[in-house]
Structure 1
Amino acid sequence: METSTGKARFDDIYDQPDPRAYFRRLAPLAYEIPHHGQAAFRRAAAARAALDDGTRQPAAVLDLCCSYGINAALLNHDVTLAELYARYTGPGTRRLTTAELVEADKDFYASRRRDGAYRIIGLDIASAATEYAVAVGLLDGAYNENLETDEPSAPLRSAMAGVGLITLTGGGSYVTRNTFRALLPQAGRPVWVSAFVLRTVSYAPIAELLAAHGLRTVADASRSYPQRLFTDERERRYAIEAVRALGLDPADRETSGRFHATLYESRG
């Protein structure tokens, strides 16, 4: 499926009872942005945690567009994205029912849990995906709300009061300033944002909103992070045209056959 712009969508894999279809579909496209997020989010989470004085519960992480809890898996566990691809596309889990996979994944992630793991909550409209992530212990809670159109529920407002870091990898093309406008007023402590956003999308509207809440956004424009291969030539043309329209140079990035993302760090 494609959007009207030419960028492919994969809606059918985002809300399955478990992540096997997700990894099978994205493996041939070398989808890799969560791998880059692993190191970046660990750095950001550690720096944000250093602000807490130890007199109350450490600030939580809110992962936007959390899906099956992949960012949470990589942040809190001794596991790599390559290992997750191997696990969910390989023969070891192929014949398991979802219920059997959930039980196996509980043990899998518990055995790889890092010391000092962060409390992570997720926000995603895909309820089946978040149910899996909570069931296997990747997320401490999840909220299936669309803040592009709706106000946050009372439970989400309460949870947001304890958040200190917001992370984003896969939703930069769909989440706008509306979501951040709904979330930030609910914060009960300083909130930072660490977001990977495709170069085909302007982050300026979100950065402006974050600035209004006292957050300064920085990005290393000289560096980008490969996201995935293009599905076809139409998608390649779309990406090249989109980055040029934003005043960026696609040479050796989008012209090489992959979407690329920029990492934006917003801190007070």
Structure 2
Amino acid sequence: MDIGKKADWSNVYVQATPASYLEIVSQQEYGVPDYGIQYLRPLLKMLYGKRQLPINIVDIGASYGIISTLLLHDLTMAELIDFFIENDNSQKRTWEEIERFYQHQDIRHTEYKFYLSDSSQPAMDFSERVQVCEKAYCFDMRHEPLPEDLKQIIETTDLFIATGSLGYIGEYFFRQIFPIISQNSLSPLFAFVVYRAFYSSKIEKVFQDYNYTLLKSSVPFKKGRKFASALEQENTIASLHQRNIDTVGFEDEGFYACEFYLGVPVSEKERLYHWLKQEEK
């Protein structure tokens, strides 16, 4: 499906804080982050347990550092939404309140080091200001080359993640990072939450070209987010039917359905397939 047929949220990504973004998220019952966290938390624990060193994570299309916030502080989306918009929808949080919220969480996983990328400068500025990343990089991942210092981070990255953003990225980003990865002895993993309507066979081909494979969750998650309009739903269902994907019980119910993918070296396929199936029990 053409990403241009998806509802346009671009106006909420140019705000100084994630308040407007989280308001839309709440209205659209956006379930992608919490769904992704169900896999990401145990995945990070597994990686850290194996290596006993800080885990370097690159979040692709990170928005306002939502996923790094949830993982660093063991928060839920409901708790984040509650802070920014639910307590008093007419009263915006001050910067003092926002910084206090992020700085005084009971938990901070110092064993996780996040590096964020996104095309929104305000979102990247916010993420650095509230310290939910080591560094944030603003560039157009679909068309622009990697910043030079991000290339150095990629050399030591343990895990790349993208939750709901893969449709905006395209294969160019991956065509750039795999030659860097291929020079290292330690092969990173990839964890994606992808709307079924925007799954990219072109990205899958890049993985195959570099001897990686994509393992998929057994059952799609039904409630990625509500469709913003009847037209958005119609376009999505039509696109999925063209690919012979059954939408009964999924997109027919009024939500984007999504799936979790784990990108792994072919040599690790069997071991990590068993890990994924164990997490789904």
C-alpha distance 164-237 of structure 1, shift in aligned 2 (>3 A): same
Greater per-residue helix proportion: 2
TM-score (norm 2): 0.85
Moved over 6 A (4+): none
TM-score (norm 1): 0.89
1:69 corresponds to? 65
After superposition, residues 1-268 of structure 1 pair within 5 angstroms as 6-52=5-51, 54=52, 58-91=54-87, 94-97=91-94, 99-109=95-105, 111-114=106-109, 117-187=111-181, 188=184, 189-268=186-265
Q: Contact 1:5 / 1:238 at 8 angstroms: preserved in 2? A: no
Amino acid in the other structure paired with 1:179: F
Q: Contact 2:56 / 2:112 at 8 angstroms: preserved in 1? A: yes
Query: After the TM superposition, which of the residue ranges 84-93 and 33-42 deviates more from structure 2?
Result: 84-93
Counterpart CA distance in 2 for 1:6 and 1:204 is: 19
C-alpha distance 182-147 of structure 1, shift in aligned 2 (>3 A): farther
Query: After the TM superposition, which of the residue ranges 196-205 and 8-17 deviates more from structure 2?
Result: 196-205
Amino acid in the other structure paired with 2:36: G
After superposition, the C-alpha distances for 1:180-231 in whole angstroms (9 at most, x for unaligned) are 1112222343111110111112332212211222222111353335211111
C-alpha distance 90-243 of structure 1, shift in aligned 2 (>3 A): same
Counterpart CA distance in 1 for 2:222 and 2:56 is: 26
After superposition, the C-alpha distances for 1:19-70 in whole angstroms (9 at most, x for unaligned) are 1011112211101100011121112223333453x5xx53401111001111
How far off its partner does 1:117 sit?
Answer: 3.6
Query: After the TM superposition, which of the residue ranges 39-48 and 7-16 deviates more from structure 2?
Result: 39-48
Q: Secondary structure at the match of 1:163?
A: coil
Q: Contact 2:213 / 2:263 at 8 angstroms: preserved in 1? A: yes
Taking only aligned residues, the RMSD between alpha carbons, in angstroms, comes to 2.0
How far off its partner does 1:12 sit?
Answer: 0.5
C-alpha distance 66-58 of structure 1, shift in aligned 2 (>3 A): same
C-alpha distance 95-242 of structure 1, shift in aligned 2 (>3 A): same
Counterpart CA distance in 2 for 1:202 and 1:96 is: 37
C-alpha distance 168-226 of structure 1, shift in aligned 2 (>3 A): same
Q: Secondary structure at the match of 2:37?
A: helix
Counterpart CA distance in 2 for 1:51 and 1:103 is: 33
Counterpart CA distance in 2 for 1:48 and 1:214 is: 21
Counterpart CA distance in 2 for 1:130 and 1:86 is: 22
Where do 5+ consecutive residues of structure 2 fail to align? 266-281
Amino acid in the other structure paired with 1:19: P
Where do 5+ consecutive residues of structure 1 fail to align? none
- Identity over aligned residues, as a percent? 20
2:275 corresponds to? none
C-alpha distance 92-104 of structure 1, shift in aligned 2 (>3 A): farther
Q: Contact 1:63 / 1:168 at 8 angstroms: preserved in 2? A: yes
How far off its partner does 1:161 sit?
Answer: 1.2
Counterpart CA distance in 2 for 1:179 and 1:236 is: 28
After superposition, the C-alpha distances for 1:108-160 in whole angstroms (9 at most, x for unaligned) are 44x3324x541011010111111111111111111112232122121111111
